Amino acid sequence: MKYAKHILILALLAASGACTNDFEDYNTNPNKQSEGSVAPIALLEPLIYSSTNSYSSYMLSIANEISQVTVAKSTPRREHCYNLADGNFKAIWNLGYKWAGNAKHMYDLAVAQGQPNFQAIGLTLKVYNMSILTDMFGSIAYREALKGGEGINTPHIDSQQEVYTAMLEELELANSLYLAGRGIRMHDLAMRIYRSDGPVELDEADVQLLREFALTLSPAFIDSLDQNLGTETGDGK
């Protein structure tokens, strides 16, 4: 009986091994994202919410309590008694680079996918997070930061002046990308039309922008406009 049990176990193991030859072919996760396939817009809301929420939490415990604006009734850190530890600042240091890295990832995805608006947003959010770090710590790694994938694991530390110079350069690039993507101009034009009580004066650039936007509309959207507005919008009408 003892030997029969062992034989049965070996047979089951052999059978299970035989069933896994093409395991990956039959057990492919259709929801799994491949590297670089995530749309940049998917990072936008988590990045903005998580970064600002993280900072507000730590800034509340440090800035508010040190200045006695608020005092926590029960806290193991006791910042309101000026009892500060390395952990108070280490967390912000790590979070700043974490969210700046995610913003850079958004930028890289947008470059690969040809989306200038999200390239600009990624750069802007990266600068925002890095500005918090340099305002708190002064000299930080900037120009060589966030390049671990390129083998730069000990980046050069830039002075605060160098950091601000680099940040302004990236914001200038972001501004040019916003204009190239025409997202801001389209938004401004849309708000002008929405807020107007009568006819809106459009220059040639505005008309060209509207024409380019109209070409991106799907037939289903055009049909929806026809039904809801009672007007014909196709064939230039």
Q: List the pLDDT tens digit at each of the 237 positions of the chain.
A: 555 555 555 555 555 555 555 655 666 776 666 666 788 888 888 899 988 888 877 777 777 777 777 776 665 667 777 777 777 778 889 999 999 999 999 999 999 988 888 999 999 999 999 999 999 899 999 999 999 989 999 999 999 999 999 999 999 999 888 877 666 677 677 777 778 877 878 888 877 777 776 666 556 555 554 555 444 444 444
Q: Could you tell me if 193 and 109 lie in one domain? A: no
| Domain contains 27 | no
Q: Could you tell me if 196 and 144 lie in one domain? A: no
Cβ-count burial 145-184 (b if 16+ within 10 Å, e if not)? bbeeeeeeeeeeebeeebbbebbeebbeebeebbeebbbe
Q: Could you tell me if 225 and 200 lie in one domain? A: yes
Q: Could you tell me if 59 and 158 lie in one domain? A: yes
Q: Could you tell me if 125 and 200 lie in one domain? A: no
Q: Could you tell me if 76 and 154 lie in one domain? A: yes
Q: Could you tell me if 162 and 220 lie in one domain? A: no
Cα–Cα distance, 73 to 65 (Å, whole number): 11
Q: Could you tell me if 134 and 193 lie in one domain? A: no
| Domain contains 21 | no
Q: Could you tell me if 70 and 127 lie in one domain? A: yes
Domains contained in the chain, number: 2
**CATH number of the domain where residue 151 is located:** 1.25.40.390
Q: Could you tell me if 75 and 157 lie in one domain? A: yes
**Domain interval for residue 132:** 41-181
Cα–Cα distance, 101 to 108 (Å, whole number): 10
Q: Could you tell me if 108 and 72 lie in one domain? A: yes
Q: Could you tell me if 121 and 193 lie in one domain? A: no
Q: What tokens does 87 get?
A: 């952990």
| Domain contains 87 | yes
| Domain contains 130 | yes
| Domain contains 33 | no
Contact 121, 106 (CB under 8 A): yes
Q: Residue holding tokens 């049990």? A: 5
